[in-house]
Amino acid sequence: MNHKYNKVIFVCTGNTCRSPMAEVLFKNLQNDSSIEGISRGLVVLFPEPSNPKAETVLKSHNLLLENHIATPLSPDDIDGETLILTMTMSQKLNIMTDYSRQQDVFTLKEFADEEGDVTDPYGGDLIDYENCFAELARLVKKAVIKLYEREH
Protein backbone atom coordinates (compact mmCIF):
# COMPACT_ATOMS: atom_id res chain seq x y z
CA MET A 1 0.00 0.00 0.00
CA ASN A 2 2.83 2.30 -0.77
CA HIS A 3 1.07 4.44 -3.32
CA LYS A 4 0.53 8.13 -3.36
CA TYR A 5 -2.92 9.63 -3.14
CA ASN A 6 -3.72 12.88 -4.88
CA LYS A 7 -7.00 13.38 -3.02
CA VAL A 8 -8.59 12.54 0.32
CA ILE A 9 -12.36 12.64 0.65
CA PHE A 10 -13.78 12.85 4.17
CA VAL A 11 -17.31 11.44 4.19
CA CYS A 12 -20.09 11.75 6.76
CA THR A 13 -23.87 11.61 6.55
CA GLY A 14 -24.97 15.12 5.63
CA ASN A 15 -21.66 16.93 4.95
CA THR A 16 -22.53 19.73 7.38
CA CYS A 17 -20.41 18.88 10.43
CA ARG A 18 -17.91 16.02 10.80
CA SER A 19 -16.56 15.76 7.27
CA PRO A 20 -16.27 19.54 6.72
CA MET A 21 -14.43 19.88 10.07
CA ALA A 22 -12.10 17.03 9.04
CA GLU A 23 -11.52 18.74 5.68
CA VAL A 24 -10.54 22.02 7.34
CA LEU A 25 -8.25 20.23 9.79
CA PHE A 26 -6.63 18.28 6.95
CA LYS A 27 -5.97 21.40 4.89
CA ASN A 28 -4.58 23.18 7.94
CA LEU A 29 -2.17 20.35 8.76
CA GLN A 30 -0.65 20.07 5.30
CA ASN A 31 2.32 22.28 4.73
CA ASP A 32 2.52 21.78 0.96
CA SER A 33 -1.06 20.99 -0.14
CA SER A 34 0.20 18.19 -2.38
CA ILE A 35 -2.90 16.15 -1.51
CA GLU A 36 -6.29 17.72 -2.14
CA GLY A 37 -8.71 17.45 0.76
CA ILE A 38 -12.47 17.62 0.25
CA SER A 39 -15.58 16.52 2.12
CA ARG A 40 -18.80 14.92 0.96
CA GLY A 41 -21.99 13.46 2.40
CA LEU A 42 -23.90 10.28 1.71
CA VAL A 43 -27.35 11.74 2.43
CA VAL A 44 -27.42 15.28 1.06
CA LEU A 45 -31.00 16.06 0.11
CA PHE A 46 -30.43 19.72 -0.70
CA PRO A 47 -27.48 22.13 -0.62
CA GLU A 48 -27.25 23.51 2.88
CA PRO A 49 -24.52 25.40 4.74
CA SER A 50 -22.36 23.89 7.41
CA ASN A 51 -23.69 23.50 10.92
CA PRO A 52 -23.37 26.79 12.87
CA LYS A 53 -22.06 24.96 15.95
CA ALA A 54 -19.33 23.31 13.85
CA GLU A 55 -18.39 26.74 12.50
CA THR A 56 -18.30 28.20 16.02
CA VAL A 57 -15.99 25.44 17.27
CA LEU A 58 -13.67 25.82 14.28
CA LYS A 59 -13.52 29.61 14.75
CA SER A 60 -12.59 29.09 18.40
CA HIS A 61 -9.53 27.19 17.12
CA ASN A 62 -8.72 29.88 14.53
CA LEU A 63 -9.94 27.71 11.66
CA LEU A 64 -12.46 28.83 9.06
CA LEU A 65 -15.06 26.89 7.17
CA GLU A 66 -15.91 29.45 4.54
CA ASN A 67 -18.83 29.25 2.13
CA HIS A 68 -19.26 25.52 2.69
CA ILE A 69 -22.29 23.96 1.03
CA ALA A 70 -23.19 20.31 1.66
CA THR A 71 -22.29 18.22 -1.38
CA PRO A 72 -23.19 14.58 -2.05
CA LEU A 73 -20.48 12.06 -2.85
CA SER A 74 -20.39 11.43 -6.58
CA PRO A 75 -18.54 8.86 -8.70
CA ASP A 76 -16.92 11.88 -10.41
CA ASP A 77 -15.16 12.70 -7.10
CA ILE A 78 -13.33 9.38 -7.08
CA ASP A 79 -10.39 8.22 -9.17
CA GLY A 80 -7.66 5.62 -8.75
CA GLU A 81 -5.59 7.90 -6.54
CA THR A 82 -8.38 8.85 -4.11
CA LEU A 83 -8.43 7.86 -0.46
CA ILE A 84 -11.90 7.83 1.10
CA LEU A 85 -12.15 8.24 4.88
CA THR A 86 -15.59 7.80 6.44
CA MET A 87 -16.80 8.66 9.92
CA THR A 88 -18.52 5.29 10.50
CA MET A 89 -18.22 1.66 9.47
CA SER A 90 -21.70 1.70 7.93
CA GLN A 91 -20.69 4.64 5.71
CA LYS A 92 -17.60 2.71 4.62
CA LEU A 93 -19.69 -0.35 3.77
CA ASN A 94 -22.22 1.79 1.87
CA ILE A 95 -19.45 3.28 -0.28
CA MET A 96 -17.90 -0.13 -0.92
CA THR A 97 -21.31 -1.40 -2.11
CA ASP A 98 -22.75 1.67 -3.85
CA TYR A 99 -19.52 2.69 -5.61
CA SER A 100 -18.12 -0.83 -6.17
CA ARG A 101 -14.94 0.27 -4.48
CA GLN A 102 -13.13 -2.31 -2.39
CA GLN A 103 -9.82 -0.53 -1.85
CA ASP A 104 -8.73 2.81 -0.46
CA VAL A 105 -11.90 3.11 1.65
CA PHE A 106 -11.39 3.22 5.41
CA THR A 107 -13.09 4.67 8.42
CA LEU A 108 -11.04 7.58 9.72
CA LYS A 109 -10.41 5.69 12.96
CA GLU A 110 -9.38 2.56 11.06
CA PHE A 111 -6.89 4.56 8.97
CA ALA A 112 -5.54 6.12 12.19
CA ASP A 113 -5.13 2.62 13.70
CA GLU A 114 -8.01 3.04 16.13
CA GLU A 115 -11.37 1.31 16.45
CA GLY A 116 -14.95 2.54 16.39
CA ASP A 117 -16.84 5.39 14.78
CA VAL A 118 -16.49 9.16 15.06
CA THR A 119 -19.42 10.28 17.21
CA ASP A 120 -21.97 12.45 15.44
CA PRO A 121 -22.63 15.60 17.51
CA TYR A 122 -25.73 16.50 15.46
CA GLY A 123 -28.48 17.71 17.77
CA GLY A 124 -26.05 18.10 20.65
CA ASP A 125 -24.75 21.20 22.38
CA LEU A 126 -21.55 23.13 21.75
CA ILE A 127 -19.60 20.82 24.09
CA ASP A 128 -20.59 17.83 21.94
CA TYR A 129 -19.26 19.65 18.87
CA GLU A 130 -16.06 20.60 20.73
CA ASN A 131 -15.56 16.96 21.73
CA CYS A 132 -16.10 15.88 18.12
CA PHE A 133 -13.58 18.50 16.97
CA ALA A 134 -10.99 17.24 19.48
CA GLU A 135 -11.50 13.66 18.28
CA LEU A 136 -11.25 14.71 14.62
CA ALA A 137 -8.15 16.82 15.29
CA ARG A 138 -6.37 13.80 16.78
CA LEU A 139 -7.48 11.41 14.04
CA VAL A 140 -6.79 13.72 11.10
CA LYS A 141 -3.32 14.46 12.47
CA LYS A 142 -2.60 10.73 12.64
CA ALA A 143 -3.93 10.30 9.10
CA VAL A 144 -1.75 13.12 7.73
CA ILE A 145 1.32 11.64 9.39
CA LYS A 146 0.51 8.23 7.91
CA LEU A 147 -0.07 9.69 4.42
CA TYR A 148 3.20 11.58 4.38
CA GLU A 149 5.18 8.68 5.82
CA ARG A 150 4.05 6.63 2.83
CA GLU A 151 5.32 9.22 0.39
CA HIS A 152 8.83 9.51 1.74
Active-site annotation, residues: 12, 18, 120
| List of E strands, the chain | 7-12, 36-41, 82-86, 105-107
Pairing of strands 36-41, 105-107: unpaired
* In contact, 9 and 82? CB cutoff 8 Å: yes
